[in-house]
Amino acid sequence: MKAAAKHEPALLYVVAWVVLVLLTGISVLTAFLGMGVYAPAVEYGIAATQAAVVYILFMRLKGPPSLKWIFAGTGFFWLMILYGLSMTDYASRRGWPH
């Protein structure tokens, strides 16, 4: 016999979706507030919070280390390579602020 799979309550996913939508709205709002040098820190904080919600709830990474952590970390590693290559493209263009 197979063990029954554990299911989280649907309300948890609804709350997570609402949190993600609210954080997206806050991110859009802060883009228009003119926060100056503090804007990137606030935006990155919001993005990190959104990523944490997705990683913990939807990828089910809470709990002891497992093979899922390796795959999630590998995906994050390749995302950083993608961002790095994109930044080298932007940095090599004319008009890039130095």
Residues 45 and 81 in one domain: no
Residues 43 and 87 in one domain: no
User: Would you say how long the chain is, in residues?
Assistant: 98
Q: What is the CA radius of gyration of the chain?
A: 18
Q: Which tokens is 96 given?
A: 């890039």
Residue 5's pLDDT is: 58
Q: How many domains does the chain have?
A: 2
Residues 30 and 5 in one domain: yes
Residue 26's pLDDT is: 94
Residues 3 and 50 in one domain: yes
Residues 5 and 53 in one domain: yes
Residue 44's pLDDT is: 84
Q: Which tokens is 39 given?
A: 């804007």
Residues 8 and 24 in one domain: yes
pLDDT category of residue 28 using cuts at 50, 70 and 90: very high
Residues 20 and 31 in one domain: yes
Residues 58 and 73 in one domain: no
Q: Which domain range does residue 86 map to?
A: 64-98
